[in-house]
Amino acid sequence: MASSSHPLRVLILGGTTEALALGRALENMSDLHGIFSLAGITPSPHLPYIETRQGGFGGIEGLATYLHAQEIGAVIDATHPFAAQMSRNAVAACAQTGTPLLRLQRPGWQPSPDDDWIIVPDIDAATAALGATPRRAFLTTGRKDLAPFCAAPQHHYLIRSIVAPDPASLPPDHTILLQRPPFTRESETRLMREHRVDILVTKDAGSDATSPKLAAARDLGLPVVMIARPTLPPARTVTTVHEAIDWLRSLSHAGTRRDV
């Protein structure tokens, strides 16, 4: 059984507000030792006051080696719903090492009757959904998913990103906005009006911090190209930090800490 002298060592794969909230919740829990991991791509990230690490593990093998070396007793995959590679690696490495894994993932957004959503499976389909007629598209898909829009250079793109995108990935007619969420319905409406946006393109992130753009699009009567979440291998999944803590506590109390 994990005791205060041997707390359960928990690797949190971060990158979302839920991951940060979980990390913060673990700050004062003596039976759970959290290690907060980020890919290391966002400058000056918000961090909890627990052990942190940044940078990739080196694929499935690298993660399996890390889990073993660090005597990790549980992994919480709280990465972004579109961080599919990391989530797949977590499933494989945890299976390989026998480490309990929980996915903490917020639910996807749901359209209301007043919404005009075009749901597409991926970025290429989102590009095609903009059509042949030139439009003014607001892209909030992240800086790594811009290159496919070069295939539709007839549109003007308002591109919002936390970190400046690679200039080589940009479609010719664009405006860049460097901004970090949260946003409000009022500011999103103002922004879309100012830039004369006529269609919004987004991933189904499900985050409250970025959902005001959907309400703004609804208010302005604009269509939304909604990119569906990637399919992930099955894993035990919860949607709230509270449930994740309950699961960790049950593991801790059951004494499933690995003694490697």
User: Which parts of this chain interact with ligand NAP (CB under 6 A)?
Assistant: 13-16, 37-39, 41, 56-59, 62-63, 79-80, 82-86, 89, 142, 203
Instruction: State which residue, 41 or 235, has the beta carbon closest to ligand NAP.
Output: 41
Task: Say if residues 137 and 128 touch (Cβ distance below 8 Å).
Answer: no
Q: How far is the CB of 140 from ligand NAP (least distance, A)?
A: 10
Nearest in space to 71 (alpha carbons), one of 35, 103, 38: 35
Q: How far is the CB of 115 from ligand NAP (least distance, A)?
A: 21
Instruction: State which residue, 31 or 52, has the beta carbon closest to ligand NAP.
Output: 52
Q: Which residues does residue 136 pair with via DSSP β-bridges, in sequence order?
A: 156
DSSP 124-160: HHHHHHT-SS--EEEE-S-GGG-GGGGG-TTSEEEEE
Q: Read off the amino acid at residue 77.
A: D
Distances 50 to 3, 24, 28 between C-alpha atoms, Å: 18, 8, 9
Instruction: State which residue, 13 or 191, has the beta carbon closest to ligand NAP.
Output: 13
Q: How far is the CB of 34 from ligand NAP (least distance, A)?
A: 13
Q: How far is the CB of 161 from ligand NAP (least distance, A)?
A: 10
Distances 94 to 75, 155, 205 between C-alpha atoms, Å: 8, 44, 25
Instruction: State which residue, 87 or 252, has the beta carbon closest to ligand NAP.
Output: 87
Q: How far is the CB of 89 from ligand NAP (least distance, A)?
A: 5
CA quadruple 12, 13, 14, 17: dihedral positive or negative?
negative
Instruction: State which residue, 134 or 181, has the beta carbon closest to ligand NAP.
Output: 181
Instruction: State which residue, 89 or 189, has the beta carbon closest to ligand NAP.
Output: 89
Q: How far is the CB of 138 from ligand NAP (least distance, A)?
A: 16
Q: What is the DSSP letter of 7?
A: P
Q: Which residues does residue 52 pair with via DSSP β-bridges, in sequence order?
A: 36
